[in-house]
Amino acid sequence: MSSIEITVIDREGVETPGVDWEDDESLMECLVRNSFPILAICGGNASCSTCHSFLDQVSFVTAGEIDEDEADVLDSLNDSEREPTSRLTCQIAWDTDLAGAVVRIGPF
Ligand code: FES
């Protein structure tokens, strides 16, 4: 089992460094296990948007392509909710290159 550390910023702006992300988890599963307020209602199927969060710019590029299902869900968000680095965290796979990522939890 390998893990990396990321920083998470919650909806109140509180920053938590050193959050452990294990290699068998999606980013959503990491956030849920670490008790961040991610509902993940659809269970990671890219259909609910309750795992929506923002990545730092470098990690957004590292995380790779957004597939069609995720793009459809992101397109359904209000303009006020979506940002250029919006992602569904359930669609982000663990990657050593994401060590040090800064993840800001999206609005409800
Ligand atoms: S958990 Fe539903 S879209 Fe990610």
Domain assignments of the chain as residue spans, ordered by start: 3-105
Fold adopted by 3-105: Ubiquitin-like (UB roll) (3.10.20)
Closest CA to 43 of 74, 9, 75, 88: 88
Cβ of 49 less than 6 Å from ligand 1: yes
Q: How far is the CA of 79 from the centre of ligand 1 (A)?
A: 19
Cβ of 6 less than 6 Å from ligand 1: no
Q: How far is the CA of 43 from the centre of ligand 1 (A)?
A: 6
How much is the pLDDT for 108? 79
Q: How far is the CA of 59 from the centre of ligand 1 (A)?
A: 19
Q: Of ligand 1's atoms, which has the minimum distance to the CA of residue 89?
A: 4
Give the model confidence (pLDDT) of 4-17 as tens digits.
999 999 999 999 99
Give the model confidence (pLDDT) of 62-101 as tens digits.
999 999 999 999 999 999 999 999 999 999 999 999 999 9
Q: What percent of the chain has pLDDT over 70?
A: 100
